Amino acid sequence: MGRTAVTVGTLLCVVAATLGARQTAPAFEVASVKPNDSGSGTSSGRSANGSVTLTNMPLRLLISNAFGLRPNRVIGGPNWIDSERFDISARAPENTTDNQLSLMLRTLITERFKLVARTEARDQPAYALVVARADGRLGTKLIASSACDKEARFSPAAPPAESKLPESMPCGNRRWNDGRETVIRAGAQPLASLVRALDGVADGRQVIDRTNLSGTFTFEIRFAPPTVSATNNDGGLPSMFAALEEQLGLKLESTRAPLEVLVIDSVERPTPD
């Protein structure tokens, strides 16, 4: 098991230096942190023109969002980081990028919650994406292709099901999920785009590409989200596991892999302001 004894503050400085920014960690111009005692189980977040509002957020979720990790890869900490909720209102300069906002949120958590943490590589449950068939043949909805329509854009609504892939797909990828059906489409994209779209969907596990397929592909996959049970699957859609094999000729195999986690050494409740 690998271990990197790096505090959160040090991580911020490293990232800032990598970006060519000043050595001090980027921070919001002003920020307010208050406990939320509403008892609601719903969290929300929005940002626009440098204004960031996070409502009813548990600290573990805040940390996972700030560091780009799933909550199950934020390890340790007292019970209250899951049970207690917080509202954060902050302002950053206009035109601040999403990456910069994440760094500012890390700074806020470090300063206001006194977070001290380190990164480690720990053996974690994962899924390996592999070719399903022994002869290497792929599904009809996964086609090696370097061509896509650079002028077209994916529609906001999920497209209707078709028996075969369209002649031309917009470049890039898009995922739709209306709670009953999940659709993932891509035009001339590496399989890494599919891996990112599948990551965490099943059991919160990370998906690792072990297909050994290079190049770019046009593909489409449709499946019932994990929240849809057999009794309320109105469309009769396959599970993600079945759809991968039936439509793309791929499958997920349970495995374990060394994945980066953030281990909390200490953290404190903030002083409300």
Give the domain range for residue 41: 2-123+260-266
pLDDT at 22: 41
Rounded distance, CA 60 to CA 183, Å? 29
86: β partners: 35, 57
Domain identity same for 113 and 169: no
Domain identity same for 96 and 178: no
Buried b (16+ CB within 10 A) or exposed e, 187-204: bbbebebbbebbbbbeee
Query: For 92-108, how does the pLDDT look when each residue is reduced to its tens digit (9 = 90+)?
Result: 988 888 888 889 999 99
Query: For 37-66, how does the pLDDT look when each residue is reduced to its tens digit (9 = 90+)?
Result: 999 888 888 887 788 999 999 999 999 989
Rounded distance, CA 112 to CA 221, Å? 43
In a domain, 129, yes or no: no
In a domain, 144, yes or no: yes
In a domain, 147, yes or no: yes
Domain identity same for 6 and 111: yes
Q: Domain tally for the chain?
A: 2
In a domain, 128, yes or no: no
Domain identity same for 54 and 145: no
Domain identity same for 101 and 172: no
In a domain, 271, yes or no: no
Q: Whole-model pTM?
A: 0.66
In a domain, 133, yes or no: no
Rounded distance, CA 112 to CA 69, Å? 20
Question: Residue 4: how many CB atoms within 10 A of its CB?
Answer: 12
In a domain, 255, yes or no: no
> Could you say which residues of the chain have pLDDT below 70?
1-23, 229-232
Buried b (16+ CB within 10 A) or exposed e, 22-41: eeebbbbeebebeebeeeee
Domain identity same for 73 and 142: no
Query: For 218-229, how does the pLDDT look when each residue is reduced to its tens digit (9 = 90+)?
Result: 999 999 988 876
Domain identity same for 118 and 146: no
Helix (H) or strand (E) holding 108: helix 98-112
In a domain, 130, yes or no: no
